[in-house]
């Protein structure tokens, strides 16, 4: 199984300018580019109906919000509902971006951590606070997305007769692509 390629559709959702492109850039190329970035259709309200096509078939959704912008968190909740209504088996990962800004200035935080954690528990999702600028929790986020997918897939294909202690098996090497508009 080592070296096996695993393809899974992972979508990045969230309001414009919350840092979706920066998150992918940090993960894929291990760099942070100071914008400006081109507007992103996945985050634009005017492309909402088209977005349903974008996340059709997704197995994971990283729903981003800017930790300094409460309106982006409200919008993230919208995206969670959209994904849940269209892709019931899609696993949700809430991602608060720009954590470097709130670490440097606690007054900059526009989204209460405990409120987000309560919501995360309610929807049975996972929460990450990331910084694309510093790299904080970016690799961890995508690592968990990949591991969760592999664990669910392994569980689905196992039968009673060949149940194995997965903890003792060597984990496969895997690659996955992020769908991002």
The pLDDT of residue 108:
97
For the chain, the structural domain boundaries read: 9-179
H-helix or E-strand spanning residue 4:
none
The answer to whether 148 touches 91, Cβ cutoff 8 Å, is yes
Q: Residue 36, CB half-sphere, CA atoms under 13 Å: how many?
A: 3
> Which CATH code, of 3.40.50.300, 3.30.70.360, 3.20.80.10, 3.30.465.10, is assigned to 9-179?
3.40.50.300
pTM of the model: 0.81
The pLDDT of residue 167:
40
Render each residue's pLDDT in the chain as its tens digit; 181 residues. Answer: 456 777 889 999 999 999 999 999 999 999 998 877 666 654 556 666 667 788 889 999 999 999 999 999 999 999 999 999 999 899 999 999 999 999 989 899 999 999 999 999 999 999 999 999 999 999 999 999 999 998 887 666 654 444 443 444 444 444 444 444 3
- Using alpha carbons, select from 171, 128, 145 the residue that is nearest to residue 59: 145
H-helix or E-strand spanning residue 81:
helix 70-86
């Amino acid at each position: 199984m080592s070296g096996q390629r695993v393809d899974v559709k992972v979508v990045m959702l969230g309001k414009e300018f919350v840092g979706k492109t920066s998150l992918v850039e940090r993960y894929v190329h291990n760099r942070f580019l100071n914008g400006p970035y081109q507007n992103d259709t996945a985050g634009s309200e005017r492309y909402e109906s088209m977005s349903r096509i974008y996340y059709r078939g997704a197995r994971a959704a990283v729903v981003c919000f800017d930790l300094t912008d409460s309106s982006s968190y409200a919008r993230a909740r919208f995206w969670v509902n959209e994904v849940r209504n269209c892709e019931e088996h899609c696993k949700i990962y809430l991602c608060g971006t720009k954590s470097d800004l709130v670490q440097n200035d606690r007054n900059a935080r526009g989204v209460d951590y405990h409120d987000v954690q309560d919501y995360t528990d309610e929807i049975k999702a996972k929460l990450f606070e990331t910084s694309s600028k510093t790299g904080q929790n970016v690799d961890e986020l995508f690592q968990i997305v990949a591991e969760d997918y592999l664990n669910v897939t392994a569980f689905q294909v196992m039968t009673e007769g060949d149940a194995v202690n997965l903890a003792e098996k060597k984990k496969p090497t895997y690659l996955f692509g992020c769908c991002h508009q």
